Amino acid sequence: MKKSNRKGFTLVELVVVIAIIGILAAILVPTMMNYVKKSKLKTANSNAKLVFTTVNNEAADMLVEGTSVTADASMKTASSKGNKIAANFGGTGDDAKAKLASAVWNALKDNGDGAGYCVYLLGNDGNVTFAQWSDVENPTGGVLGQYPNPCSKPDDANKAFRDTAYAKADWSAAAAG
């Protein structure tokens, strides 16, 4: 009985395995990237809804307490950019704007630096008309979430913050934003 000293794989076997891995990667990478985009959009829309709900609830509480909540308490855009959510980003006073901003910070502060940027607009009746959220200051390079009328297609969600809500029709890729 002769013992063979040759162990391992042949060059052909290695090339075949590498080719199979390359083909699988070429198929799976675009699919996985689409899942990542969808996940980012769902997170952005969810955080926008959280901002909307938080501001609405805090405004309602303030109205019950006798504090006037008007459109002046809105957190508007600055050159199509959002407002960084951080402690005291609405000021440090006891006014409605500071209280609403503080409530948003408390709702999203667990995200740390990922608390993101937001815009929300209130009517003079104290109700929120819309909220927008993004993880970047200028979401044309990222993903913008909005509530109500959220975007449903990740490739169309790279719009700038603005002081009016996007309508459903505005989210199409052909619509100017």
Give me the pLDDT at residue 56, please: 92
* Token representation of residue 52: 């909307």
pLDDT of 173 strictly over 90: no
Give me the pLDDT at residue 15, please: 95
CB 175 within 8 A of CB 162: no
Give me the pLDDT at residue 177, please: 47
H-state helical runs in the chain:
11-65, 96-108
Q: What is the mean pLDDT of residues 94-101?
A: 82
Rounded Cα distance, 108 and 94, in Å: 20
Each residue of 61-89: pLDDT tens digit?
A: 988 888 888 888 888 876 667 778 877 77
Show me where the domains of the chain are located: 11-171
Q: What is the mean pLDDT of residues 143-152?
A: 90
- pLDDT confidence of 93, banded at 50, 70, 90? low
CB 125 within 8 A of CB 69: no
Give me the pLDDT at residue 34, please: 85
What DSSP letter does each residue of 70-98 carry, written as one string? -GGG-B--BTTBPEE--TTTT-SSSSHHH
Rounded Cα distance, 127 and 36, in Å: 33
